Structure 1
C-alpha cells in the first residue's frame, strides 16, 4: 500500500448528484456545464472536516448515472471539461488532498463506441462477454440483433466487458495511466468482485512501474477479502462485512455480531488495510438505517477506532437521511445535491458535523489505528468494550466503550490512568461508567 494511504481519510462524493447535474447526458450541441467548480468550492470544507482525500464517483462521459460509461477519456460534459478537471486536481493538491477516481471497468453503456461496432467487426465483438445461455441477459432485447451479450447483474443497458480479451486489458491500462498522469492518486475499481482478480493483477503489473505511489481499492461485497487482494494485487477492498455489522448489531441489540465481524476484520488486517465506511453511494444512509438515532455516535466511534482506511460519504457528516430503493431512480435519495457553499447547510446538521470532526481528529492523532487489531471484551448483547491496539507498537491502544442498553453500565477497569478522549456527553468521575445509550473512547493507562 502506498505510504500516504496509511494516513488517508476519504470524503466520498458522487459528483453528478452533488452538483445537481442532469439525469441524462447532454445533447451533443449543448454547452459544457462547468460544475466541477461547484465541487471545488467544498475543498476547504473537506480539509476542515479532517479528511485528506476525495474519493470521487464517476466523472467520465456516460449516458445517465455515471456507471454507464461511453468514453473513459472524456469528462462528462454535465460536470465540465479537461480544463475544469486539471484546475480541480490542482486545487485539491494545493490543499494536501489526494484524489481517487472511480474506474468502471467491468461494464460499459450500450452507447460505448466499440460496442456500436461489435455486430460488424469481430475484433470489436471480442471486447464483450457472451452470455453463457446464448441469449442476452436482462430481459427483452428490444429488437436488437445479435443480442447474446452478457450484462451486469441483469441491467440490459450495461454490457459486460470480456476481461480475457487483450484489447480490453490494453484499454484499461491506458485509462489508468492517462488519469494518473493527470495528477490523481489512485482508483476505486467499481464492481471489482465481478472481474477475475487476475485481470487486475495483469493491469497493475503494467501500471505500477509508471505510478509507484498509486493506490488501488476494489469494490468487493463479500467472500474472502484477503484472498481477493492477494490474487488481484490490489491494495485494498471495501469492507462491507464490517459496515453491515456496525448498524445491524446496534439495531438488533446484538454486539456478538460486531465482535464476530471484528475478528474477521483483524484477520484481513494481517495482509491489507480494508476500505472502511458507515455509508456510501450504494446504501441507505446511516441516519436512516439506524432504528435509534442515539446510536449514530456508537457507529462512528467504531468506524474511527478500528483498523482500516476510513471513508465518510458526503452528507453523512451532516446527518443527511436517505433510503435506497430497488427501482429505477432508487439511488437518488442517497445521492442528493449539496448547496453552493458550506454556509448554506442547514443548522440541524452541525452537531453531527462536529462529532465527525472530533472523531476524525482523534483518528489523525493516532495514525497507528490504520493497522490496529480490535478485540471485543466484556461482551453482552447491548454492551461491549473494544480494545484497539497496535501489534507493532505495544502500549499504543484505545478503549471504546459502547452501551446500547436502557441503563447505565459500568465496565470493569482493566487499566488505571485512562482518560476520556471523546464521548457521547455527560460527565462522571468514573470513566468506565457509561450512560444508557452512550459511548466513550478512553486513552492512556
Structure 2
C-alpha cells in the first residue's frame, strides 16, 4: 500500500482544458498555458480530491498521444519551468501528480521514427516493427491502424531502456506516478521488465494501466502495475441506470469484489475517451446514483474535469470526435455557469463522505435488496482495525422503495434522502441514500 490508498483524482486533459491549438506548428512558439492550471488547484482542493491525473503534457503533434519528444513539455502548454511550478504548487496543496505515459507507440513525426525509416539497417529501426520491401517505401506496425501512431517493439531491450528512462526522469522532476496509456496493447511481461527498475528508485510511485477488456487481476499480477482502469464497472453503472436494470450493476459489483481481493482498480464514471456522464444518462435524475456508486465502492476514484459541473459532451468516431468531451475551461472558477454548481456541491458531499471513511478503498459490497429498479447494498471493510459499515440504497422507481435492515438503533442518513425506522429504510422515488 502507498499514498494512493487514500487518493481521489481529478483527471484533466491539459491540451483541451487550456484551449491549446489542435496541431503543433513547425515554428510553434512556447505558450505558457500550464500556469493557468495552477489557478485551478484550489478549485480541485475545494472539490475534495487529493491528486491530479494529467493527460499528455509532452511534445506531440496533435492530441498528445502522438508523442514527438518524451523529455520536453509540449510548447503549446509551456516549458519545463512551467511544469516544475505546477508540480510544486500541487504538492504545496497536498495534491499528488500522476502523468500520462504513452509507451505503446510514438508519433510518426518522432525523430526516432524518421531515423528508423530513413535507411535500411538504421539502429533506430530496432525500436519499431519496420519492414523494408525489395522496392518502395518501408512499412511499420501501427496502433489500431492509425498511420500517425507508430507501435514500439516491446521485445526490444532498447525500448525497455527508453521507457524506464522516461519514467524515472519525470518522477525525478516531482511526478508521483504514471497512467500507462493503451497498456492493454503492451505485453504484461514488458512492464514486469521495466517497473522493478523504476520502483527501485521511486518505490512510492503509483502505476495504473489503461486496460479496457480482459482479466484485470491477471494483468496486474503479471505486469507489476498497482492497478488498471475499471471499464467493466463504468459500463455497468450508466447502462444499468439507463435500462433500469440494476441486475447488471449487481453482477459487476460481484466481479469488482473479486478484483479487490488482489488490487484496487482505478474507478470512474467519465474520462477523456468516453461520452460525458451527463450526456450518456437518459434520465438526469439518476446522475447522483452514478456518483454514489463510484464513491461508495472499493477502488481509487477518478473524476473527469467538467463532470463535477455536469458538463455534456458526445464522443464521436470521426476526426475531431473527441473535441466535445475535451472542451476548454474558462480562466477562473467564477466564470463557470451557475447551473453547474449544484452538481459540484453534490460531488463535494460524496467525496467528503468517502474521505471520512478511508477504509472504502478496499471495501466489499454485499447485496441486500435487488430488483430491476431498486438496489441496496452493504459496504464493509474487508479486515483490520479500520472496520466500517455503510448501507447504500439506489431507487430508480417511480414510487418509494423500502429496504429491510437489521440494525439497532436505526442507521443515520449520512447523505441523500431516506427515512429509517421500524426495521425499514424508505427512499423516495428516483432518490438515493447512504446510511451508517
Q: Tell me which interval the TM-score lies in, with the shorter structure as reference length.
A: over 0.9
Alpha carbons 2:129, 2:151 under 8 Å: kept: yes
Within-5 A mapping of 1:5-16: 5-16=4-15
SS, match of residue 388 in structure 1: strand
Of 73, 76, 81, the residue aligned with 2:74 is 76
Q: CA deviation at 1:370?
A: 0.2
Counterpart residue number, 1:402: 394
1:38-95, Cα deviation, whole Å (9 max, x unpaired): 1110000110000000000000000000000000000000000011011110000000
Q: For the residues of structure 2 that align with 1:32 and 1:170, how far apart are their CA atoms? A: 29
Alpha carbons 2:297, 2:361 under 8 Å: kept: yes
Q: For the residues of structure 2 that align with 1:265 and 1:144, how far apart are their CA atoms? A: 51
SS, match of residue 280 in structure 1: coil
Q: CA deviation at 1:130?
A: 4.8
Q: For the residues of structure 2 that align with 1:362 and 1:409, how far apart are their CA atoms? A: 23
Q: For the residues of structure 2 that align with 1:289 and 1:376, how far apart are their CA atoms? A: 26
Q: CA deviation at 1:222?
A: 1.3
Alpha-carbon RMSD across the aligned residues, in angstroms, is 1.6
* Residue 403 of structure 2 corresponds to residue 411 of structure 1: yes
SS, match of residue 208 in structure 1: helix
Alpha carbons 2:419, 2:425 under 8 Å: kept: no
1:195-225, Cα deviation, whole Å (9 max, x unpaired): 0001111111111110011010000001100
1:210-255, Cα deviation, whole Å (9 max, x unpaired): 0011010000001100000000000000000000000001111111
Q: CA deviation at 1:129?
A: 2.4
Q: For the residues of structure 2 that align with 1:19 and 1:348, how far apart are their CA atoms? A: 22
Q: For the residues of structure 1 that align with 2:288 and 2:256, how far apart are their CA atoms? A: 21
SS, match of residue 212 in structure 1: coil
Counterpart residue number, 1:122: 122
Alpha carbons 1:26, 1:78 under 8 Å: kept: no
Alpha carbons 1:8, 1:52 under 8 Å: kept: yes
Q: What stretches of structure 1 of length at least 5 have no aligned partner?
A: 136-142
Counterpart residue number, 1:245: 236
Q: CA deviation at 1:427?
A: 6.5
SS, match of residue 404 in structure 2: coil
Q: CA deviation at 1:363?
A: 0.4
SS, match of residue 391 in structure 2: strand
Counterpart residue number, 1:139: none
Alpha carbons 2:418, 2:425 under 8 Å: kept: no
* Residue 321 of structure 2 corresponds to residue 330 of structure 1: yes
Q: CA deviation at 1:122?
A: 3.3
Alpha carbons 1:318, 1:349 under 8 Å: kept: yes
Q: CA deviation at 1:413?
A: 2.2
Q: For the residues of structure 1 that align with 2:348 and 2:251, how far apart are their CA atoms? A: 28
Q: CA deviation at 1:428?
A: 7.4
Q: CA deviation at 1:415?
A: 1.9
Counterpart residue number, 1:140: none
Q: CA deviation at 1:379?
A: 0.6
Counterpart residue number, 1:90: 88
Counterpart residue number, 2:367: 376
Range moving further from structure 2, 373-382 or 385-394 = 385-394
Counterpart residue number, 2:62: 64
Q: For the residues of structure 2 that align with 1:405 and 1:129, how far apart are their CA atoms? A: 55
User: When the two structures are aligned, how many residues end up with a matched partner?
Assistant: 430
Moved over 3 A (4+): 425-431
Range moving further from structure 2, 54-63 or 116-125 = 116-125
* Residue 426 of structure 2 corresponds to residue 433 of structure 1: yes
Q: 1:328 to 1:177 in 2, by over 3 A?
A: same
SS, match of residue 379 in structure 2: strand
Alpha carbons 1:410, 1:434 under 8 Å: kept: yes
Q: CA deviation at 1:366?
A: 0.2
Of 303, 312, 316, the residue aligned with 2:294 is 303
Q: For the residues of structure 1 that align with 2:100 and 2:78, how far apart are their CA atoms? A: 16
SS, match of residue 22 in structure 2: coil
TM-score by length of 2: 0.96
1:81-133, Cα deviation, whole Å (9 max, x unpaired): 011011110000000000000000001111011110113243211111258xx
Counterpart residue number, 1:317: 308
Of 206, 217, 233, the residue aligned with 2:224 is 233
* Residue 249 of structure 2 corresponds to residue 258 of structure 1: yes
Counterpart residue number, 1:43: 41
Counterpart residue number, 2:415: 422
Q: CA deviation at 1:409?
A: 1.0
1:261-298, Cα deviation, whole Å (9 max, x unpaired): 01100111011100000000000000000000000000
* Residue 385 of structure 2 corresponds to residue 387 of structure 1: no
Alpha carbons 1:101, 1:186 under 8 Å: kept: yes
Q: CA deviation at 1:386?
A: 1.4
